[in-house]
Structure 1
Amino acid sequence: MKLWAGRFQKETDTLVNDFNSSIQFDARLYKQDIAGSIAHAQMLGKQGIIEEHEVESIVEGLKAILEDIEADKVEFSVDNEDIHMNIETLLTQRIGDAGKRLHTARSRNDQVAVDTRLYVKEEIPVIIGKILDLEEVLVEKAKEHTDTVMPGYTHLQRAQPTTFGHYMMAYANMFKRDVTRLEDCLERLDECPLGAGALATTTYDIDRFATAQALGFKKPTDNSMDSVSDRDYAIELLSALSILMMHLSRFSEEIILWCSWEFKFVDLDDAYSTGSSIMPQKKNPDVAELVRGKTGRVYGSLITLLTMMKGLPLAYNKDMQEDKEALFDAIDTVEICLPVFAAMVNTLSVRRHNMERAAAGGFITATDCADYLVKKGLPFREAYMIVGRLVNLCIKNHETLDTLTLRDFRAICDLFDEGVYEAMSLKHCVNGRTVYGGPAKESVLKQIALIEEFIQQRK
């Protein structure tokens, strides 16, 4: 018999039973559910709502159920719908009437709310740790390549020279923001909904501050209706994870391009590549492609929750059962992507000469050529037009700026002298950009130091 069967005169249809049940996915909340139930039972005892001997029996029974679940000795039932009713039924079967007293002053609405918050609270630090592991990889790559010149791009066109170290720090700063977003989410969700009941608390003299403290929350939630109907923390987490996956996807796209024959800037380690079933020459960047593909999966989880919540009146509605599969899948996806992605980046080889060769083409020192004229007193817009004419001349004659003769330069502007060649050299162009945040070696080393400090504060 179902725990809520008193009101009903008919058994639930089998199709409805299967449709309504969530145990197939919320079973993973067993630890959180048992922790919440222990805290609730102990509070009931301290408040004199149930007897102390009943509390002892409940706590011992719940701990035994936890051990049996982890030993794979428990088979959950679809008839009991969810993890909450499965555990309560097991407890009652094992300890008798005391088990029936556990649900005093509690609803499955506040029960699932506290379970899910506890789960998210535990998973966010795990994800942060994996991001920091990736940050450490990026720091080491940046240290190795502060002098490795490569083209920087806008519109996927060669734009200005930078270094591979500077590039790695760009992604390191993205992932730094991801960490702080997750930390913000963790701070906001650190409130305990247990004791809110179905929506309007209870007439029993419960102590919500005691259960919040016992479960490691900063405080109880302030409004009982909001407590059971809020899924903002889950939406916020999925938003942060979607942004994180977007960053991983952008990085994946770069790696996919860089290891193609058209770029050949990097080589992926064989252990993080796959081959073709028909083309023996192929070495495919499947890890990067899968991360790029799984990004859409995490986006889908975010849209699922936003769409699910957009039309719900207060307070709890059964629609909200749909939060867990999306939430769990997004967390699982991120947690599997981060370590394999970090390992792929850690083991890739950088082809310095190919990067530098690419940086030498595409007129990426054109801005520096214009700046050279500006430093001789010419307004930037005039300098810009002159260098544009030089680039056009090069294109017509299949030249580059550094292969033009001084006579070619002076034919367009007599301010040019031999110093223009040094002004346009790749190393000068990179290391002359000492502005805070720029690609010069001393600037990149400062960026590395900031990320290292950020990591050390959290590990």
Structure 2
Amino acid sequence: MSDLLWQKDGVRVDAQIMAFLAGSDVLLDRELLPYDIEASKAHAEGLGRIGLLSAQETADLLRELDVLAADVADGRFVLDDRYEDGHSAIEARLTERLGDTGRKIHTGRSRNDQVLVASRLWLKNRLQQVHAICRDIAAVCLARADSDPALPMPGYTHLQRAMVSSTAMWQAGYAEAFIDNALRARQALDWIDANPLGTAAGYGVSLPLDREHTTQALGFARVQLNPIYAQLSRGKFEIAAIDALGAAMLDLRRLAWDLSLFTTGEFGFVGLPAEYTTGSSLMPNKRNPDVVELLRASYAPVAAARSEIEHLLSLPSGYHRDLQYSKGSLIHAFGHGLAALALVPPLLARMEWRADKMRAAIDDGMYATDRAIELAGQGLPFREAYKQAAEQPLPQHGADPEASLAARVSPGAAAALGLEMLKSRLSDL
């Protein structure tokens, strides 16, 4: 490991203790390193603007940071256990290339605001990805609801057959869910879009740092002003971002549950693309919906990450090393969640509805609510209509699922899906 940024003369570094302190930081910081480099460029520019770096020193630092960013992107520089973390790797590289000029990069900042700003930039990027994928899922659902035949299918409550529904209504329901999830991601992004760079170790520094410049250079909407609050927000902002991801994962879990049921032999409503299934190692007759089942399970690591970070925040104000453990939880949650969500648009676009199976599952009892509403519309008190429909469930149109769907005219129901309204909401995102 290279020289430690905080090393003091005469203090022995114990390898076992250092391994515990570093943990998996070097591996995790590979995710954050491009953002740490980006923030270092803004910081160098800021130091130049207040006269702590000469124009030449600033230009040299910016050039070498660009070279390092390119080397990281191309795989020529890989963060490894030569370094304590990504921050020390950046400073070591700049010092190797520029000598004392490289050592000036840390003036007026701390590893505390370095990790805050790098993780904040990383989070903004990941929330933008959540927003984009949720929009994609909603768009696929709306396209199929609009263009496919609106096939009758059973609607369920308590996993019991309840009323006649349609594939278009099912797809429109998930479209609206993921429109809301995209909105939730955008709102979380707006909330955390604050620049902590320049708050140092949580108490500011004796320099007139140009924080407005770094805020604009890094694309933040505002300065996170108070250094103490910058530290208080660590974990809090991460939880807000995970909550936005979690909202999408909750809907994904329910969608995957639907598909898990609909693909069983007992239902048979849906056929999955072949690559979304796997075979059994023992039973030659089996094709298993393993991808759907793992999509169903994918909320778990996101929820676990939220819980772990929440438990870490049982702390007083100021920075505490406990917060190091929030990094792994956050990166794992978004890595897993985004990978799962990315599989959904092609799955929904290519799955096949089996009209004959769905129609065969619609029994006479599923028209009873239509009959009760029909009788109430003729002036019968609803409770009397309810009793009569329980005994004679078929409405005037008989056991006709298309007629049942056509009569469902309340806004959002099968005959009034409001797809144009949903498309407008989606386009506004």
For residue 449 of structure 1, what is the aligned residue in structure 2? Answer: 420
Matching residue within 375, 378, 383 for 2:377: 375
In structure 1, runs of 5+ residues without a counterpart are 392-400, 403-419
For residue 308 of structure 1, what is the aligned residue in structure 2? Answer: 312
For residue 403 of structure 2, what is the aligned residue in structure 1? Answer: 428
- What is the CA-CA distance between 1:386 and the residue it aligns to? 2.6
Matching residue within 248, 252, 255 for 2:252: 248
Q: Distance in 2 between matches of 1:302 and 1:290?
A: 19
Matching residue within 282, 287, 306 for 1:283: 287
For residue 112 of structure 2, what is the aligned residue in structure 1? Answer: 109
Pairwise mapping of residues 45-84 of structure 1 onto structure 2 (< 5 A)?
45-78=48-81, 80-84=83-87
Q: Distance in 1 between matches of 2:31 and 2:272?
A: 36
- Which amino acid in structure 2 is aligned with residue 15 of structure 1? Q
For residue 99 of structure 2, what is the aligned residue in structure 1? Answer: 96
For residue 387 of structure 1, what is the aligned residue in structure 2? Answer: 389
For residue 173 of structure 2, what is the aligned residue in structure 1? Answer: 170
Q: Which has the larger radius of gyration?
A: 1
Q: 1:147 to 1:75 in 2, by over 3 A?
A: closer
Q: What do residues 228-258 of structure 1 show as CA deviations (whole Å, max 9, x unaligned)?
A: 3313221111111112111111000100111
Q: Distance in 1 between matches of 2:166 and 2:95?
A: 66
Q: 1:195 to 1:425 in 2, by over 3 A?
A: same
Alignment check: 8 A CA contact 2:134 2:248 kept: no
Q: Distance in 2 between matches of 1:380 and 1:457?
A: 41
Alignment check: 8 A CA contact 1:2 1:79 kept: no
For residue 223 of structure 2, what is the aligned residue in structure 1? Answer: 220
State the secondary structure of the residue aligned to 1:261.
coil
1:269 and 2:273 are equivalent in the alignment = yes
Q: Distance in 2 between matches of 1:318 and 1:434?
A: 59
Q: 1:67 to 1:253 in 2, by over 3 A?
A: same
Alignment check: 8 A CA contact 2:142 2:171 kept: yes
- Which amino acid in structure 2 is aligned with residue 375 of structure 1? G
State the secondary structure of the residue aligned to 2:156.
strand
Pairwise mapping of residues 356-375 of structure 1 onto structure 2 (< 5 A)?
356-359=359-362, 361=363, 363-375=365-377
For residue 17 of structure 1, what is the aligned residue in structure 2? Answer: 18
- Which amino acid in structure 2 is aligned with residue 138 of structure 1? C
Q: Distance in 2 between matches of 1:131 and 1:159?
A: 29
- What is the CA-CA distance between 1:140 and the residue it aligns to? 2.3
Superposed CA RMSD in Å reads: 1.7
Q: What do residues 129-169 of structure 1 show as CA deviations (whole Å, max 9, x unaligned)?
A: 22222222211221244531111111111111111100111
For residue 414 of structure 2, what is the aligned residue in structure 1? Answer: 439
- Which amino acid in structure 1 is aligned with residue 200 of structure 2? G
Q: Distance in 2 between matches of 1:376 and 1:212?
A: 66
Q: Distance in 1 between matches of 2:253 and 2:298?
A: 9
Poorly superposed stretches of 4+, deviation over 4 Å: none
TM-score (norm 1): 0.88
Q: What do residues 202-249 of structure 1 show as CA deviations (whole Å, max 9, x unaligned)?
A: 111111111111111112102111113313221111111112111111
For residue 186 of structure 2, what is the aligned residue in structure 1? Answer: 183
- What is the CA-CA distance between 1:347 and the residue it aligns to? 1.2
Q: Distance in 2 between matches of 1:133 and 1:372?
A: 39
Q: Distance in 2 between matches of 1:146 and 1:167?
A: 13
Matching residue within 203, 206, 210 for 2:209: 206
Alignment check: 8 A CA contact 1:17 1:78 kept: no
Q: Distance in 1 between matches of 2:198 and 2:378?
A: 74
Alignment check: 8 A CA contact 1:287 1:341 kept: no
Q: Distance in 1 between matches of 2:248 and 2:367?
A: 33
State the secondary structure of the residue aligned to 1:12.
coil
Q: Distance in 2 between matches of 1:385 and 1:97?
A: 88
For residue 297 of structure 1, what is the aligned residue in structure 2? Answer: 301
For residue 264 of structure 2, what is the aligned residue in structure 1? Answer: 260
For residue 343 of structure 1, what is the aligned residue in structure 2? Answer: 346
Q: What do residues 5-29 of structure 1 show as CA deviations (whole Å, max 9, x unaligned)?
A: 12x6322211121111111211221
- What is the CA-CA distance between 1:75 and the residue it aligns to? 4.3
Pairwise mapping of residues 153-168 of structure 1 onto structure 2 (< 5 A)?
153-168=156-171
Q: 1:162 to 1:425 in 2, by over 3 A?
A: same
Q: 1:276 to 1:428 in 2, by over 3 A?
A: same
- Which amino acid in structure 2 is aligned with residue 224 of structure 1? P
Pairwise mapping of residues 389-408 of structure 1 onto structure 2 (< 5 A)?
390=391, 401-402=393-394
- What is the CA-CA distance between 1:320 and the residue it aligns to? 1.1
In structure 2, runs of 5+ residues without a counterpart are none
TM-score (norm 2): 0.94
